[in-house]
Structures are given as C-alpha cells and as structure tokens.
Amino acid sequence: MKKISIFCAIVFVVGIITSSVLAIDCTTDEECTEAPLLRCSGGQCVACIEKEDCADDLYCNGEETCVDNICSPGISPCGEDEICDEANDACVMMAPMDIKPGSCQNPLNVRSKGVLSVAILGTDTFDVTTIDPGKILIAREGFDGIPAVRHTYEDIGMPLTGELCACDDSNEDDLDEDDLNQDGYIDLVLKFRVPALVKGLGLREVESKETIQLTVMGETDAAPIMGKDCVRIINKLKWWQDIVKKPKKPKKDAEE
C-alpha cells in the first residue's frame, strides 16, 4: 500500500518536472513516446488530457485525475482502521483479535490433539454478533484458511495495545481464568482443532520456539474483516533432539 502511494507520488513529481522541462512538439499521440508524455494536446506532448489517461486500474490507489495535463494520484478509498484488499477491490476492517486470551506468547504445541482458542474482541464500536461465524477462517501466509469447529459468545478479553507479537518472557503456565481481562463487551470465541492447523498451515515445518503470525478472516453484515496475532511454535520432539545434540561438558581430571 505504501509502496504504491510512493510510486504514484514519484510519477506525479516526474510528470511535473518533465512537462516543465521538455517541450515536445506533436500532431498525433503516436509522436509522444517519452513517458509520461504520451498524449498530444495543443501541439505538444503532455501526460494526460482526461482522467482516463491517468487510470492505473488499481482499486487501492483511488481515482486518479488529470489536472493541467498532469496526472494527479488518487486517494485510498479505505478508512484509517481499514486495509485495502486489491484482489477483491474491497476495504477490510481490522478487527481486534487475541489468540489464547490471557496469554501473550501464545505457545502452540504442534503435537497437541486439542483446540486453539481465538477471540475476536468486541468494543464500543464493534459488535461481534454481526460476524458470520460460519465464514471465519484462520490462515498463515501462503496457506489456505482453516475453519473453526465451534464458537461461543462471552466477555473473555480486551483489545491489546502495543506492537503485534511483542511479549515479555512471562510464564504462561502461571496464568488462569482470573488473569483474563474483561471489559464489558461480548467477544466471539472460536475453537480451531490443532491437528487441522498443523497440517493445513504447515506448522510442523516451523522451527521450535519460532514466533509466526496468523490471520483471521471473516465477514460482518456490512463488510469483510481481518485480525492478526501471533503464536510461538512448540515442538517437543525437536526440543528433545536439541537437548540430545548438546555437547557434553568435558569431565574434570581426577586430580582436580
């Protein structure tokens, strides 16, 4: 998104400089081949005559315009709390999400046969009951999404602040239900089978203790939503192998 905006700004500046420095005479568009001066107007090559000349066919860029024969970049159609989905020509609302509410490092044992809890958190401006639970998927970049097996509605947490995936080294084993932060807003709590996640998202190939980002995608009555959080992969077999491979300390001489 930022790269596209920067590119548009560069093209805009180059257009101004080029049009002011170069004066290429012409009678037809075919004579104008020095980008971005590709149209002929008033006997000179210009960048554009009408806004259609500036269109880049990218939804996330907004609608480009032609001002004084110079292309002006468009403005993103998405709001401050949205990201733009170019593939679907849509603005996606970022929903607050928490994997394993009450835990920060979110350890995920790839050999577990249980379920992973994921909460989409309600706020004073976001009603989770507008979400269609049947369309919720959890995904990892490069892999197809996995559906939840069940869901409930309860006040189980509150949106976290700070950088995504940033945690201290607190011991999650010490956390219990009394540690969960409740804020008075109903949350949508989803359960995903760990074996299905491990197989479908390729988690067995992730190094033990590595932190990776997962994305939840879904839809409300009005718009698509997306939420992101991280898990710390725990692979007990690899952990045991690491211990076995550690070099033994040399024995001290008998005289010592």
Give the CATH number for residue 218.
2.60.40.10
Q: In terms of Cα–Cα distance, which of 227, 200, 195 is closest to 213? A: 227
Whether residue 49 is contained in a domain is answered as yes
Whether residue 256 is contained in a domain is answered as no
d(CA 102, CA 106) in angstroms, rounded, equals: 9
147/103 same-domain check:
yes
50/106 same-domain check:
no
Whether residue 113 is contained in a domain is answered as yes
pLDDT tens-digit series, residues 102-139: 787 899 999 999 999 999 999 988 999 999 999 999 99
101/212 same-domain check:
yes
Tokens for 7, please give them.
């590119």
pLDDT tens-digit series, residues 69-110: 999 988 988 887 788 888 788 889 889 999 998 787 899 999
* Statement: the pTM of the whole predicted model exceeds 0.85: no
What single-letter amino acid sits at 220?
A: T
40/117 same-domain check:
no
227/145 same-domain check:
yes
Q: Are 118 and 97 in contact (CB under 8 A)?
A: yes
d(CA 19, CA 248) in angstroms, rounded, equals: 72
67/104 same-domain check:
no
Domain count, the chain: 2
Q: Are 229 and 96 in contact (CB under 8 A)?
A: no
Whether residue 255 is contained in a domain is answered as no
Q: Which of 44, 72, 100 is the last residue of a domain?
A: 72
Interacting residues of 187 by C-beta distance below 8 A, sequence separation 6+:
101, 119, 120, 121, 122, 128, 153, 154, 155, 156, 157
Whether residue 252 is contained in a domain is answered as no
42/111 same-domain check:
no
Domain of residue 30, residue span? 2-72
d(CA 18, CA 71) in angstroms, rounded, equals: 12
pLDDT tens-digit series, residues 213-247: 999 999 998 889 999 999 999 986 544 555 555 55
Interacting residues of 140 by C-beta distance below 8 A, sequence separation 6+:
201, 202, 203, 212, 213, 214, 215
Q: Which of left, alpha, beta for 43 (phi over 0: left; psi -120 to 50: alpha)?
A: left
